[in-house]
Amino acid sequence: MATPISIISIGSVSPLGSNPEEIWGNYLDERSFISNIAIGDTNVPVAKLSEKLQDEVAALKNSNPNYRHLDNSVLYAILASRWALAGTDWKDDDFGINIGSSRGATGLFEKHHAEFVKTGVTSAHASPATTLGNIASWVAQDLKSTGPDISHSITCSTALHAVLNGVAWLRSGMATRFLVGGSEAPLTPFTIAQMQAMKIYSSLNGDYPCRALDLEKRYNSMVLGEGAAMACLEIGKHPKAIAFIDGVGYATETLQHSVSISADADCLQRSMRMALKDTDISEVDAVVMHAPGTVKGDLSEYKAIQEVFGKNLPLLTTNKWKTGHTFGASGLLNLELAVFMLQHNRFIDVPFYQQQTGRDIKKVLVNAVGFGGNAVSILVSKELKTVSET
């Protein structure tokens, strides 16, 4: 039997805030937290941090001369990691770190590249400030950890791959505690232009520019968001755990197109089945879907869930209609939502999908999938259930 894994705490920076009570309150609020910003001659919907959080990021940037050249993706990761660690009783520096990002130092890379195109030269800070490994490394520097620090990028499933890595390190006996998560700061003109070029970015107006999990929509409605989320994992059954990991699953499918998965999301079917292999599917109360707000993406995941659960369809939800798609951070923000629902025994509904919601929330499956057909599923619960190793 596999050694149990405890989720000790989660810290996040997102359009919904950073304080757990504030974030939960904003989940209970029926509003979307998406607004418009000017990109060129047009207004584009995005989900950005509040002015209060932006001020905290600016204060962090100015608090240390070494932080003044860091990208927002790194600064978000540092803040979220500090808040995650504050929720633990970890008294020493012996823990590992695995933090990923889909695009890494997006803003700084675009800035330095534009300067090079214009002048033919670039700053001495350009290389160290834009390497992917700079996220976990700076978090390790900030927290003064002595364990391994790892950065990686596996598109939009990056943060949940960090969870997989953390679980693997813990169960291997090579570590007893791990900080895992993802960070993304993609609200830049070039990044948004890339999404628009694929014709998946929302051009909708009104209260809900991102219609994630609206299975009747005819137009793509993905909206970008920014943020970071980190979870502290510990080997064994911790008495102060906020949730337990009951199962993990992963899969990669053969792609027919570089930016899409199959019509019935074979990779998600396989990752969900792996995560659920020691669990009766009727015990799963809800699924936090990846559901990016695209026509094909939402529908393919829904079909995958139908294939796996059949008539025992759990409650379905997503947070992207509120937070936008935060790329590499999105999977951990999904996990945060799952843990909140477990803690409060309350399901957070989506305004575009009708279902009967009156049931207890004791076990939740969390999905993430990205370009490249890389899927991850994590099963979490209030009650500890020791499961066979996946």
pLDDT band at 385 (very low <50, low <70, confident <90, very high): low
Q: pLDDT tens digits for 76-110?
A: 999 999 999 999 999 999 999 999 999 999 999 99
Strand-pair partners of 182: 100, 229
Mean pLDDT of 308-323: 96
C-alpha–C-alpha distance, residues 342 and 229, integer Å: 18
Q: Is the pLDDT of residue 2 over 80?
A: no
Which two three-digit tokens encode residue 134? 């700079």
CB 293 within 8 A of CB 208: no
Q: pLDDT tens digits for 58-80?
A: 999 999 999 999 999 999 999 99
Mean pLDDT of 199-204: 95
Mean pLDDT of 232-236: 96
Listed in order, strand segments (DSSP E) in 78-221 are 96-100, 149-152, 177-184
Nearest one of 77, 48, 46 to 60, comparing CA atoms: 77
pLDDT band at 374 (very low <50, low <70, confident <90, very high): very high
Write down the pLDDT at residue 291. 97
The half-sphere exposure of 139 on its side-chain side, counting CA atoms within 13 A, is: 38
Neighbours of 208 (CB within 10 A): 23
Q: pLDDT tens digits for 259-290?
A: 567 777 899 999 999 999 989 999 999 999 99
For the chain, list the domains and their CATH numbers.
Answer: 5-235 (3.40.47.10), 246-381 (3.40.47.10)
Determine the residue type at 27. Answer: Y
Write down the pLDDT at residue 111. 93
